[in-house]
């Protein structure tokens, strides 16, 4: 069950001479909303082909970081590289390198599962024949082949999630970002979804970068973890290293030892602040 | 190019799948056509201004287009709230492509809606003066549709949620319609009203369409075309700019 943890010091792939390549690199990344610093000079690297968990309490800066990595929010400072591409100077090229499943669903309810995937494939410039083949293969992998021509509005939460994950892979991205892919789903569906993600990634050698509030989930599936709190990276390592370092039994205890017991502001806070700022700014003009 | 086409197709699919919306947005034009058309018709002709249905129909067709077009543009807010917008914003296509696809799709939907209202007007007794001018009428209908889809897109890019929607309806879309030449001729209007009507871009659309459909003095349609063309281009540029500034 447990994925093989990788020691950060060992930079060679087991059984190979080739040094593991980093596929995500962040250096000194900052995002400010007015006076509020949502992301405060964070730096880390993610190796190719691993499952990387990005954890933190509500409002710690997880989603803001993902938004910057995925080119929908511009950083206040710092640099990033995705599969060797700078998303700031070449956003369109960078977007081909990753797939993303956002926290909230982003499917078009009025279209069918197939049409949603088709639209994605066309937007990403996948040629027709490959597009059709990949869509069929991915739909069958997430067990939605029989529902391909049903409208998405008839789908359950779990089915939508599976469809979104499959859709994010139509253009064969090197990196798959998943922002709380399993939140609000029952344990059966969560397990099933992780099974699909791991299957997909093993088959396609995709690097997975995900956030979650379920610590046992992170402990079970992640090769490496970074914990962010108040916009700063407070710890990095394999799940085992983090529990060992904090002298705790589980990742959840390690997480609480690292981030404290205070209940945080809602995740929406920085976004609300941003919206408020924007309203004020627009009102002034 | 393909990206524009697929986004255009998406709008058409959504439209054809929601019959309720299609029928619902016919209600208002129908109401105006029947109540005003037949209610004010006798007075209109007694005043020596001719057949009111004849005069009113191009205005009512424009109304059908106007409402659908602004709605289609503003749909961005829904897409933002229900998430689909993000899917297009992280796709490797420029924001201009997205705006063009959406605007062309929305304009096509509004054009179809206008054609349905046109058919209803024919049922109510409206007659086209010269069928050879129908392509010109179609051109005007499409320009009106595109212009107001672009305006809707610009508004939808600036607004964060649907709370401002009644405001836009009551203080923007309805005044645009009422302070235009859709319902009444401009001859002999009080100066202030005449001023408002001639500042209103919709008036140029109504006038152009009226020229094309009723054959009234043909000299008038070139300035109409110029005003609509320039405004449409400007509004498309503005809405692309505002759309490109959306951050999530």
What value does the CA radius of gyration of chain A take, rounded to a whole number of Å? 19
* ipTM value: 0.88
The pLDDT of residue A273 is 55
Q: Out of B10, B14, B91, whose CB is closest to A124?
A: B91
Distances (CA, A) of A233 to A42, A179, A245: 6, 17, 15
Give the pLDDT band of residue B248 (cuts 50, 70, 90).
confident
CATH number of A22-284: 3.40.50.300
Shortest CA gap B159–chain A (Å): 9
What does the pLDDT read at residue A105?
87
Query: Which residue out of A31, A123, A160 would a mutagenesis test of the B interface target, given it has the greatest number of B Cβ atoms within 10 Å?
Result: A123
Does an H or E element contain A201, and which? helix A187-204
Q: List the domain boundaries for chain A.
A: 22-284
Tell me the percentage of chain A whose pLDDT exceeds 70: 86
- Name the token pair of B193: 């009203």
Q: pLDDT, tens digit, for every residue of A222-273?
A: 999 999 999 999 999 999 999 898 888 889 888 988 888 777 755 454 455 5
pLDDT of residue A246: 87
Q: Secondary structure of chain A: what % helix, strand, coil (to 5)?
A: 40, 25, 35
Nearest CB among B17, B92, B248 relative to A124 is that of B92
Q: B91–A110: do the CB atoms touch at under 8 Å?
A: no
Q: What is the mean pLDDT of chain B?
A: 92
Of all residues in chain B, the one with the smallest CA distance to A93 is B92
Averaged pLDDT of chain A: 85
Chain A residue with CA closest to B14: the answer is: A110
Q: Using a CB-CB distance cutoff of 8 angstroms, which residues of chain A are in contact with residue B6?
A: 118-119, 122-123
> Which residues of chain A does B84 touch, with a Cβ-Cβ cutoff of 8 Å?
106-108
Q: Do B83 and A275 count as a contact with CB atoms less than 8 A apart?
A: no
In angstroms, the separation between the Cα of residue B69 and the nearest Cα of chain A is 19
Judged by CB atoms closer than 8 Å, whether chains meet at B3 and A123 is answered as yes
Provide the angle, in degrees to the nearest 10, between the axes of the packed helices B201-214 and B52-81.
Answer: 130
Closest chain B CA to residue A95: B92
- Residue with structure tokens 């007015």? A34
Smallest Cβ distance to B248: which of A67, A110, A111?
Answer: A67
Average pLDDT estimate for B154-166:
86
Query: Which two structure tokens, joined as six digits, stand for B165?
Result: 């929607």
Q: Give phi and psi for A179, each to the nearest 5.
A: -95, 105
> B94 to chain A: nearest residue by CA?
A92
| pLDDT tens for each residue of B22-79 | 888 888 999 999 999 999 999 999 988 889 999 999 999 999 999 999 999 998 988 8
C-alpha angle A236-A237-A239 in degrees, rounded to nearest 5: 120
A-chain residues near B91 (CB < 8 A): 95, 120, 123-124
Q: In which band, very low, low, confident or very high, does the pLDDT at A278 lie, cut at 50, 70 and 90? A: low
Determine the pLDDT at residue A16: 43
pTM over 0.90: no
Residues whose CB falls within 8 Å of the CB of residue A81, separated by 6 or more in sequence, listed in order: A24, A25, A87
| Minimum CA–CA partner of B159 in chain A | A279
What is the reported pLDDT for B46? 92
Picking from B7, B83, B158, the nearest residue to A105 by CB comes out as B83
| B87 to chain A, closest Cα gap in Å | 6
3-state secondary structure of A15: coil
Closest to A81 measured CA to CA, from A93, A72, A63, A73 = A93
Banded pLDDT at A13 (limits 50, 70, 90): very low
In the prediction, which pLDDT does A283 show? 47
Contact B91 A120 (CB under 8 A): yes
Give the pairing type, strands A207-211 and A175-179.
parallel
Nearest to A44 by CA among A212, A264, A234: A234
| Paired tokens of B8 | 């255009």
Our CA-based measurement puts residue A5 at a distance from the nearest CA of chain B, in whole angstroms, of 31
Rounded CA separation A5/A219 (Å): 10
Distance CA(A99)–CA(A117), nearest Å, equals: 13
Q: Give the model's pLDDT for residue A171.
A: 94
Q: Do A104 and B83 touch (CB under 8 A)?
A: yes
SS3 of chain B: CHHHHHHHHHHHHHHHHCHHHHHHCCHHHHHHHHHHHHHHHHHHHHCCCCCHHHHHHHHHHHHHHHHHHHHHHHHHHHHHHCCHHHHHHCCCCCHHHHHHHHHHHHHHHHHHHHHHHHHHHHHCCCCCCCHHHHHHHHHHHHHHHHHHHHHHHHHHHHCCCHHHHHHHHHHHHHHHHHCCCCCCCCCCCCHHHHHHHHHCHHHHHHHHHHHHHHCCCHHHHHHHHHHHHHHHHHHHHHHHHHHHCCCC
Q: Which of A107, A91, A55, A59 is nearest to A224 (CA)?
A: A55
Residue B58 confidence (pLDDT): 96
**Are A74 and B247 inside 8 Å of each other by CB?**
yes
pLDDT, residue A281, reads 53
Neighbours of A174 (CB within 10 A): 20
pLDDT of residue A280: 54
Please indicate whether, in this complex, the C-beta atoms of A275 and B93 are within 8 angstroms of each other.
Answer: no
Would you tell me the crossing angle of helices A157-168 and A128-141 to the nearest 10 degrees? 140
Per-residue pLDDT at A276: 55
CA A151 to chain centre: 26
Binned at pLDDT 50, 70 and 90, residue B220 comes out as: confident
Q: CA angle B216-B220-B223, nearest 5°?
A: 155
Query: Which residues of B fall within a CB distance of 8 Å from A109?
Result: 82
**What residues of A are in contact with residue B89 (Cβ under 8 Å)?**
72
Q: How many CA atoms lie within 13 A of B134 on its CB side?
A: 6
Pick from B59, B66, B100, B139: which is nearest to B237 by CA?
B100
Contact A122 B3 (CB under 8 A): yes
What is the CB neighbour count within 10 angstroms for residue B66? 29
Q: How far is CA B129 from the centre of its chain?
A: 22
For the segment A106-122, the average pLDDT, to the nearest whole number, is 96
Asked if pLDDT for residue B236 goes beyond 80, the answer is yes
- Say how far apart CA A232 and CA A40 lie, in whole Å: 6
């Amino acid at each position: 069950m447990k994925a093989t943890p990788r020691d950060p010091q060992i930079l060679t792939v087991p059984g190979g001479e080739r040094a593991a390549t980093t596929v995500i690199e962040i250096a000194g990344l900052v995002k400010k909303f007015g006076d509020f610093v949502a992301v405060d000079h964070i730096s880390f690297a993610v190796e190719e082909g691993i499952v990387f968990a990005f954890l933190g309490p509500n409002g710690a800066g997880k989603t803001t970081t993902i938004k910057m990595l995925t080119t929908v929010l511009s950083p206040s400072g710092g640099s990033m590289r995705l599969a060797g591409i700078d998303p700031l100077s070449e956003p369109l090229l960078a977007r081909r390198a990753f797939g993303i499943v956002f926290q909230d669903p982003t499917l078009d309810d009025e279209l069918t599962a197939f049409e949603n995937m088709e639209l994605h494939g066309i937007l990403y410039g996948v040629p027709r024949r490959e597009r059709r083949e990949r869509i069929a293969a991915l739909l069958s992998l997430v067990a939605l082949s029989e529902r391909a021509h049903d409208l998405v509005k008839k789908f359950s939460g779990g089915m939508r999630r599976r469809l979104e994950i499959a859709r994010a892979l139509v253009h064969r991205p090197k990196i798959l970002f998943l922002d709380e892919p399993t939140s609000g789903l029952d344990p059966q569906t969560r397990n099933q979804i992780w099974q699909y993600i791991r299957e997909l990634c093993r088959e396609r050698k995709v690097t997975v970068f995900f956030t979650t509030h379920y610590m046992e989930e992170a402990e079970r599936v992640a090769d490496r973890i970074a914990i962010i709190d108040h916009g700063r990276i407070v710890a990095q390592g394999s799940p085992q290293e983090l529990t060992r370092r904090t002298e705790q039994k589980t990742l959840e205890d390690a997480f609480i030892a690292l981030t404290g017991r205070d209940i945080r502001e809602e995740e929406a806070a920085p976004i609300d602040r941003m919206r408020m700022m924007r309203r004020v700014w627009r009102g002034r003009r | 190019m393909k990206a524009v086409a697929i986004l255009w197709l998406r709008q058409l699919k959504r439209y054809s799948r929601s019959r309720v919306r299609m029928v619902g947005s016919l209600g208002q034009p129908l109401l105006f056509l029947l109540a005003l058309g037949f209610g004010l018709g006798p007075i209109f002709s007694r005043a020596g201004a001719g057949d009111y249905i004849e005069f009113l129909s191009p205005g009512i067709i424009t109304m059908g287009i106007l409402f659908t077009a602004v709605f289609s543009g503003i749909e961005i807010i829904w897409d933002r709230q229900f998430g689909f917008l993000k899917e297009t914003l992280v796709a490797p296509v420029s924001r201009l492509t997205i705006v063009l696809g959406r605007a062309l799709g929305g304009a096509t939907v509004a054009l179809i809606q206008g054609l349905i209202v046109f058919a209803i007007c024919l049922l109510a007794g409206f007659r086209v003066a010269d069928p050879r001018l129908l392509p010109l009428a179609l051109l005007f209908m499409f320009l009106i549709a595109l212009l107001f889809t672009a305006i809707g897109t610009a508004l939808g890019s600036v607004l964060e949620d649907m709370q401002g929607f009644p405001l836009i309806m009551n203080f923007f879309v309805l005044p645009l319609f009422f302070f235009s030449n859709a319902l009444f001729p401009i001859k002999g209007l009080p100066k202030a009203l005449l001023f408002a009507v001639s500042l209103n871009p919709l008036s140029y659309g109504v006038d152009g369409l009226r020229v094309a459909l009723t054959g009234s003095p043909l000299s008038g349609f070139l300035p109409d075309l110029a005003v609509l063309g320039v405004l449409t281009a400007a509004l498309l540029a503005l809405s692309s700019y505002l759309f490109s500034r959306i951050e999530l």
